[in-house]
Amino acid sequence: MKKSIYSILKGTFLVSDDAFRNWRFILFISGLAIIMIASSHSADQKVYEIARLKNEVKEMRSAFVDGRSKLMRLKMESHVVRVMKEKGLATSVIPPKKIKVKSQN
């Protein structure tokens, strides 16, 4: 046990006779580490993208609600009457009549 720890600390396991097997294992572990780092980086990017999109959705939703409330105010009869009065138009005192057209077959 003591000999193997000294071998690892001194690095003699890399230059010994069966070093090829050790190098293959080291390269395999290094490849797995690179893949793990890349996967973690990709996951972090996706988390940031999700957070950005959530903020964008909140902004769009508030803009939608604001636009809808403005539209409701513009559609109110009192607002329409006031705007038409400024343009010189007034509401009619005569109720509208329904026009019926008879088809000629």
Per-residue model confidence as pLDDT tens digits over 61-84: 999 999 999 999 999 988 998 999
Which has the minimum average pLDDT: 27-36, 45-54, 81-90? 81-90
Q: How many residues comprise the chain?
A: 105
In the predicted model, what is the mean pLDDT of the chain?
89
- Classify 101 as helix, strand or coil: coil
**Tens of pLDDT, residues 16-31:** 777 777 788 889 999 9
pTM of the model: 0.56
| Integer Rg of the chain from CA | 39
Task: Give the pLDDT confidence score for residue 5 in this predicted structure.
Answer: 80
- Are residues 12 and 18 in contact, defined by beta-carbon separation less than 8 angstroms? no
In the prediction, which pLDDT does 13 show?
A: 67
What is the distance between the alpha carbons of residues 80 and 94, in angstroms, rounded to a whole number? 18
DSSP conformation class of 11 = T
Residue 21 in contact with residue 29, Cβ under 8 Å? Answer: no
**50-61 average pLDDT score:** 98
